[in-house]
């Protein structure tokens, strides 16, 4: 039987795969016929207790994709950021670095609950006629020739396309099948995630407290709730999450402090292994890697998905421009343009996150004195602070059109 053919096949229906499918099927002039292959059943809510800090650039992308209106009412703008560094039992938590007047409300970052983001993207994908969702289904292998890639599905059938895009996450099967190696290591830490309700308002403030085991972040959500991303040494984390609710809350309270009054758990507790992973190449014959399939970074600055959305915008723009010129979108010159655009920027972000985690996950007194001095200097340098904020907003450098909120 003749394999069914699509303009583009995307393997992986996480945030990155779905956003790219929408960009190509809905926003690209003419619209591509896209197959979105995903291992998860369609319509099933994802079991994800996390919330994501989305940059202004990511918000722009979601606006162009028509997804932001479904998220806006529950998105919490981050209006100030406080960074502090102390031991777990320290009575004083010195203010080391803060951002307040540099953050115009609503311009730099928003907290969005992952459950809401999954639902909004899934709804938009369902409504897009040019996207064929093949799920639950997996892309298990592929072969490429001069004209097309033939993708083997877990069900045994095959589909073909000029361009296959891997958005199949950190453990990408297609990256492995293409023989693309990664620079990778695991952190001796896990990320514990939950949602907390508190009796006092957070006022839009995000707090990053660098503790010896790793960063502990309190990120504002709509209402009197905050999302917690708590980096903890692996064995200790296991013991903490296995405690009963009262025991877990007692540990959490030690780190959370009393600034926001009484606290209670307002969501499930989940933990995530933390790895650094960077693909040695982002492209192969008729294949492009995107999102966590290309790079996975430490979550301490909430950048993983923002970097993935930059891949989406750059790849969509590259594909549309190639198609406009009548080029075959799966050929090396087209894919290499995408790779050049994204590799330097993502390795820079990944190594900065890694460096910050190493610098701050240490209780060495000289190192602490040095980093506190550095943060204090930044705090007194408004121009540096404005630069950091512009970088965090994701709107500097060679920004693809979708991240500026423009059509393709
Ligand atoms: C604790 C924590 C907190 C974080 N906080 C933030 C934050 O605040 N801001 C931020 O920007 N980022 C954050 N991140 C990072 C962010 O969550 C990830 O970068 C992002 O979810 C990656 O999305 P993805 O679509 O690339 O991959 P995934 O979410 O892993 O999606 C991959 C999809 O592919 C499917 N799949 C897998 N294999 C196959 C196959 N063979 N065939 C078909 N489908 C397949 C899977 O079922 C899944 O649906 C955080 C990460 C962690 C761990």
* CATH number for 96: 3.30.9.10
Query: Which is the closest atom of ligand 1 to the Cα of 58?
Result: 11
Lowest-pLDDT range, 40-49, 195-204, 251-260, 278-287?
Answer: 40-49
Query: Which is the closest atom of ligand 1 to the Cα of 191?
Result: 1
Asked whether the predicted pLDDT for residue 301 surpasses 60, the reply is yes
Mutate to test the pocket of ligand 1, among 279, 305, 357 (most ligand atoms within 8 A of CB): 305
Q: Is 68 in the pocket of ligand 1 (CB under 6 A)?
A: no
Q: Whose CA is nearest to atom 38 of ligand 1?
A: 168
* Sheet of strand 139-144, all strands in order from the earlier edge strand to the far edge: 4-5, 158-161, 149-153, 139-144
Asked whether the predicted pLDDT for residue 42 surpasses 80, the reply is yes
Q: Is 281 in the pocket of ligand 1 (CB under 6 A)?
A: no
Do residue 179 and residue 190 come from a single domain?
Answer: no
In a domain, 9, yes or no: yes
Asked whether the predicted pLDDT for residue 278 surpasses 60, the reply is yes
8: closest CA among 169, 181, 180, 167?
A: 167
Q: Is 50 in the pocket of ligand 1 (CB under 6 A)?
A: yes
In a domain, 397, yes or no: no
Pick the more confident residue, 388 or 240: 240
Could you give the angle at the alpha carbon of 306 between the alpha carbons of 305 and 309, nearest 5°? 85
Q: Is 207 in the pocket of ligand 1 (CB under 6 A)?
A: no
Query: Are the C-beta atoms of 57 and 303 separated by less than 8 Å?
Result: no
Longest CA pairwise span in the chain (Å):
71
Query: Are the C-beta atoms of 230 and 216 separated by less than 8 Å?
Result: yes
pLDDT for the residue 105: 55
Q: Is 17 in the pocket of ligand 1 (CB under 6 A)?
A: yes
CA of 292 to the centre of ligand 1 (A): 6
Buried/exposed code over 190-223 (b: 16+ C-beta within 10 A; e: otherwise) = bbbbbbbbbeeebebbbbbbbbebbbbbbbbbee
Asked whether the predicted pLDDT for residue 398 surpasses 90, the reply is no
Do residue 66 and residue 101 come from a single domain?
Answer: no
Q: How confident is the model at residue 213 (pLDDT cuts 50, 70, 90)?
A: confident
Lowest-pLDDT range, 29-33, 105-109, 190-194, 350-354?
Answer: 105-109
Do residue 261 and residue 145 come from a single domain?
Answer: no
CB atoms within 10 A of CB 154: 15
How many whole angstroms from its chain centre is CA 271?
16
Mutate to test the pocket of ligand 1, among 39, 159, 350 (most ligand atoms within 8 A of CB): 39
pLDDT for the residue 339: 98
Q: Is 407 exposed, middle or buried (0-12, 13-18, 19+ CB in 10 A)?
A: exposed
pLDDT for the residue 251: 95
Q: Is 394 in the pocket of ligand 1 (CB under 6 A)?
A: no
Stretch (H or E) spanning 265: strand 263-265
The CA distance from 347 to 352, in Å, is: 8
CA of 261 to the centre of ligand 1 (A): 33
The CA distance from 57 to 127, in Å, is: 24
The CA distance from 179 to 174, in Å, is: 9
Do residue 64 and residue 140 come from a single domain?
Answer: yes
Question: Mind spelling out the 3-state secondary structure of 151-202?
Answer: EEECCCCEEEECEEEECCCCCCHHHHHCCCCEEEEEEEEEEEEEEEEECCCC
The CA distance from 203 to 201, in Å, is: 6
Task: Report residue 281 as tokens.
Answer: 């190449």
Instruction: Determine phi and psi for 142, rounding to 5 degrees.
Output: -155, 160
Do residue 22 and residue 138 come from a single domain?
Answer: yes
Query: Which is the closest atom of ligand 1 to the Cα of 293?
Result: 26
27: closest CA among 306, 334, 288, 403?
A: 403
Asked whether the predicted pLDDT for residue 107 surpasses 70, the reply is no
Query: Are the C-beta atoms of 403 and 315 separated by less than 8 Å?
Result: no
The CA distance from 175 to 288, in Å, is: 9
CA of 15 to the centre of ligand 1 (A): 7
In a domain, 371, yes or no: no
Final residue of a structural domain among 239, 274, 309 = 274
The total number of residues shown for the chain amounts to: 408
Mean pLDDT of the chain: 92
Q: Is 305 in the pocket of ligand 1 (CB under 6 A)?
A: yes
pLDDT for the residue 392: 74
Q: Is 13 in the pocket of ligand 1 (CB under 6 A)?
A: yes
Do residue 268 and residue 287 come from a single domain?
Answer: no
Q: Is 292 in the pocket of ligand 1 (CB under 6 A)?
A: yes
Q: Is 162 in the pocket of ligand 1 (CB under 6 A)?
A: no
pLDDT digit string, tens, across residues 139-170: 999 999 999 999 999 999 999 999 999 999 99
CB atoms within 10 A of CB 304: 22
Report the CATH number at residue 153: 3.50.50.60
Query: Which is the closest atom of ligand 1 to the Cα of 272?
Result: 53
Domain extent for 332? 4-70+113-184+275-361
In a domain, 392, yes or no: no
Mean pLDDT, rounded, for 271-294: 97
Q: Is 215 in the pocket of ligand 1 (CB under 6 A)?
A: no
Query: Are the C-beta atoms of 1 and 276 separated by less than 8 Å?
Result: no
Do residue 169 and residue 209 come from a single domain?
Answer: no
Query: Are the C-beta atoms of 149 and 287 separated by less than 8 Å?
Result: yes
Asked whether the predicted pLDDT for residue 87 surpasses 80, the reply is no
pLDDT for the residue 68: 98
In a domain, 305, yes or no: yes
Query: Are the C-beta atoms of 144 and 9 separated by less than 8 Å?
Result: no
Mean pLDDT, rounded, for 230-252: 95
Query: Which is the closest atom of ligand 1 to the Cα of 306?
Result: 11
Asked whether the predicted pLDDT for residue 396 surpasses 80, the reply is no
Q: How confident is the model at residue 112 (pLDDT cuts 50, 70, 90)?
A: very high
CA of 377 to the centre of ligand 1 (A): 35
Do residue 223 and residue 134 come from a single domain?
Answer: no
In a domain, 391, yes or no: no
Asked whether the predicted pLDDT for residue 22 surpasses 90, the reply is yes
Do residue 204 and residue 329 come from a single domain?
Answer: no
In a domain, 326, yes or no: yes
Query: Are the C-beta atoms of 330 and 286 separated by less than 8 Å?
Result: yes
Final residue of a structural domain among 218, 248, 274 = 274
pLDDT for the residue 91: 65
Lowest-pLDDT range, 93-107, 283-297, 299-313, 354-368?
Answer: 93-107
Q: Three-state SS for 88?
A: coil
The CA distance from 19 to 233, in Å, is: 33
Query: Which is the closest atom of ligand 1 to the Cα of 13?
Result: 49
Q: Whose CA is nearest to atom 2 of ligand 1?
A: 299
Mutate to test the pocket of ligand 1, among 165, 169, 172 (most ligand atoms within 8 A of CB): 169
Asked whether the predicted pLDDT for residue 92 surpasses 70, the reply is no
Q: Whose CA is nearest to atom 48 of ligand 1?
A: 14
Do residue 254 and residue 354 come from a single domain?
Answer: no
Q: What is the number of structural domains in the chain?
A: 2
Task: Report residue 189 as tokens.
Answer: 């830490």
Q: Helices (H) and strands (E) in the chain — how many of each? A: 11, 22
Final residue of a structural domain among 319, 343, 361 = 361
Query: Are the C-beta atoms of 256 and 196 separated by less than 8 Å?
Result: yes
pLDDT for the residue 381: 74
Query: Which is the closest atom of ligand 1 to the Cα of 292?
Result: 26
Asked whether the predicted pLDDT for residue 374 surpasses 80, the reply is no
Do residue 250 and residue 174 come from a single domain?
Answer: no
In a domain, 341, yes or no: yes
The CA distance from 25 to 35, in Å, is: 10
Query: Which is the closest atom of ligand 1 to the Cα of 170?
Result: 30
Do residue 292 and residue 241 come from a single domain?
Answer: no
pLDDT for the residue 106: 54
Question: How far apart, in Å, are the Cα atoms of 211 and each of 131, 228, 236, 293, 324?
Answer: 45, 14, 14, 30, 51
């Amino acid at each position: 039987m003749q394999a069914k053919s699509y303009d583009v096949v995307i393997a992986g229906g996480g945030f990155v795969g779905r956003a790219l499918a929408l960009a190509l099927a809905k926003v690209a002039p003419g619209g591509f016929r896209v197959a979105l292959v995903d291992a998860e059943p369609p319509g099933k809510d994802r079991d994800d207790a996390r919330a994501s800090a989305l940059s202004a650039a990511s918000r722009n992308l979601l606006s162009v994709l028509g997804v932001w209106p479904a998220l806006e009412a529950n998105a919490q703008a981050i209006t100030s950021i406080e960074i502090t560094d102390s031991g777990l039992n320290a009575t004083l938590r010195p203010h080391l670095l803060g951002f307040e007047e540099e953050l115009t409300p609503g311009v730099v970052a928003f907290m969005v609950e992952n459950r809401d983001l999954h639902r909004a993207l899934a709804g938009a994908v369902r409504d897009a006629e040019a996207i064929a969702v093949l799920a639950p289904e997996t892309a298990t292998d592929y072969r490429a020739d001069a004209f097309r890639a033939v993708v083997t599905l877990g069900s045994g059938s095959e589909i073909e396309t000029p361009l296959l895009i891997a958005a199949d996450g950190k453990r990408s099967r297609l990256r492995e099948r293409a023989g693309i190696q990664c620079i990778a290591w695991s952190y001796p830490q896990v990320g514990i995630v939950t949602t907390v309700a508190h009796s006092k308002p957070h006022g839009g403030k995000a707090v990053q407290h660098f503790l010896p085991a790793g960063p502990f972040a309190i990120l504002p959500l709509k209402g009197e709730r905050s999302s917690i991303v708590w980096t903890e040494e692996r064995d200790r984390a296991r013991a903490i999450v296995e405690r009963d609710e009262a025991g877990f809350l007692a540990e959490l309270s030690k780190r959370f402090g009393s600034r926001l009054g009484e606290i209670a758990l307002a969501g499930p507790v989940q933990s995530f292994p933390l790895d650094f992973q960077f693909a040695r190449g982002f492209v192969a014959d008729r294949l492009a890697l995107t999102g966590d399939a290309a790079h996975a970074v430490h979550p301490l600055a909430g950048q993983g998905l923002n970097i993935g959305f930059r891949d989406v915008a750059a790849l969509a723009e590259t594909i549309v421009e190639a198609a406009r010129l009548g080029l075959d979108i799966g050929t090396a010159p087209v894919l290499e343009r995408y790779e050049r655009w994204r590799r330097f920027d993502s390795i820079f972000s990944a190594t900065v996150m890694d460096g910050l985690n190493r610098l701050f996950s240490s209780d060495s007194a000289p190192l602490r004195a040095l980093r506190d001095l550095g943060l204090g200097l930044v705090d007194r340098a408004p121009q540096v602070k404005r630069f950091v904020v512009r970088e965090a907003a994701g709107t500097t450098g060679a920004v693809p059109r979708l991240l500026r909120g423009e059509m393709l």
